[in-house]
A = this chain, B = another copy of it.
Amino acid sequence: MVVGDDRLVREKVEQAVGVLGEEGIDVWVLLARESDVLGDPSLPFMVGTSVTWESAFILGTDGTRVAIVGTADVANVEATGAWPEVIGYVEGIAEPFRRTLERLDPATIAVNYSADNYMADGLTYGMWLNLQRWLEGTPYADRIVSGEPVVAKVRGRKSGEEQRRIAAAVATTVEIWDALTAWLRPGVTEREIAAFMHEGCDRRGIGTSWDRRYCPTVTAGPDSPIGHVEPTDIPLARGHLLSVDFGVLQDGYAFDMQRTFYVRREGETEPPAAVREAFAHVDRCIQLGAEALQPGVLGWRVDAVVRDYVAAHGLPEWRYALGHQLGRACHDGGALLGPRWERYGDQPLAPVERDQVFTLEIGLGVPEYGWLSLEEDVVVRDDGTEFLAPPQRALIMIG
């Protein structure tokens, strides 16, 4: 348990009660079993501990909080301090769960399933079938609605403790970037660069923001494969670009940045014109995205401002969203600054809210030089956005 977890859960539970009111939902039910193996992504901030047997965490719009868990989990859940009423059962959850719903008699019951927002899709299909069975013969099965709007708001709006942790993750990530920048030299391989950054995480006892196999993602020169791919033995060569995508996971919060470096040829005092031109476009795209991002704007519109710029300048279209939310995960779900493609579902249609944290990212291939990409992170304020770390405004020259 991280110091401050109690505070964090308290803040988020309070936020959630408010969101239930906004959404006109009577109760929100988080269901879980063996949550260390496969747990609803809302559990870490709504409960703050794991559970073993089938469990229900019932939060009411009036502030009611009831947990129903296997007896051996009772002390553990009580110890969180977030759930004042904890009901333990030995043989099965169905009966205490039904009895509790009868007592609360909610008109709407939100549970976490969502076609588009994976962070709001914490209920497995087997547990959905079990829920139907528990509610057989009651009026409650018909009162179930998707908890997606609740999750999107509670997860997206970063509380005070969450913003403190994100700021700390930012500071660490920047430290590791700075160390990398000082250490980089022609000849080091992609694999050595990844190892250097892993060492920076390990020494601090923190994790990588996503799968360590390809965090960092390192793309050196024009022949390196692009995407979620392990670093290769390709060495940094003069006249090539190096693009690195990296972030740390610290105290439960993830960060995500991309930086691009240029390895100077002998005698060069600045990158070649083609590289500078590409950088100017990518930089402009990031700034356009940051300017368009503010409370109330629909995510796809922010993406479209940049996609329109790219099309108008005859640049190749990049094949991912302009920005995703950051939080407990590197891809934190909910409102997305992305195109209205099938794979993104409804997420680009959500309005941006205050206190959400987004990436802004775009990359361009520069023939013969390599991949040029930037990813910056911003928090949405009442009057616009604020960069969480100083954005990269010029290519970093190496060698």
Q: Mark A residues whose CB is within 8 Å of B.
A: 1, 33-34, 36-41, 49-50, 52-54, 70-76, 79, 89-94, 113-130, 133, 210-211, 213-214, 225-230, 319-320, 329-331, 333, 341-343
Can you tell how many copies of this chain the complex includes?
A: 2
Contact in complex: A122, B124 (CB < 8 Å): yes
Which B residues touch A71, using CB under 8 A? 227, 319
Q: Tell me which of B33, B52, B76 contacts A230 (CB under 8 A).
A: B76
Q: Within the assembled complex, what's the spacing in Å between the Cα atoms of A93 and B79? A: 44
Which B residues touch A39, using CB under 8 A? 38
Q: Within the assembled complex, what's the spacing in Å between the Cα atoms of A40 and B228? A: 19
Contact in complex: B114, A72 (CB < 8 Å): no
Contact in complex: A126, B115 (CB < 8 Å): yes
Q: Tell me which of B89, B118, B225, B229 contacts A126 (CB under 8 A).
A: B118
Contact in complex: B124, A121 (CB < 8 Å): yes
Contact of A329 with B49 at beta-carbon distance under 8 Å, contacts A71-B227, A126-B121 already known = no
Of A37, A113, A320, A331, most B-chain CB atoms within 10 Å: A37
Contact in complex: B342, A92 (CB < 8 Å): yes
Q: Within the assembled complex, what's the spacing in Å between the Cα atoms of A129 and B92? A: 28
Contact in complex: B126, A227 (CB < 8 Å): no
CB-based closest 5 A-B pairs: A92-B342, A72-B227, A121-B126, A75-B229, A113-B125
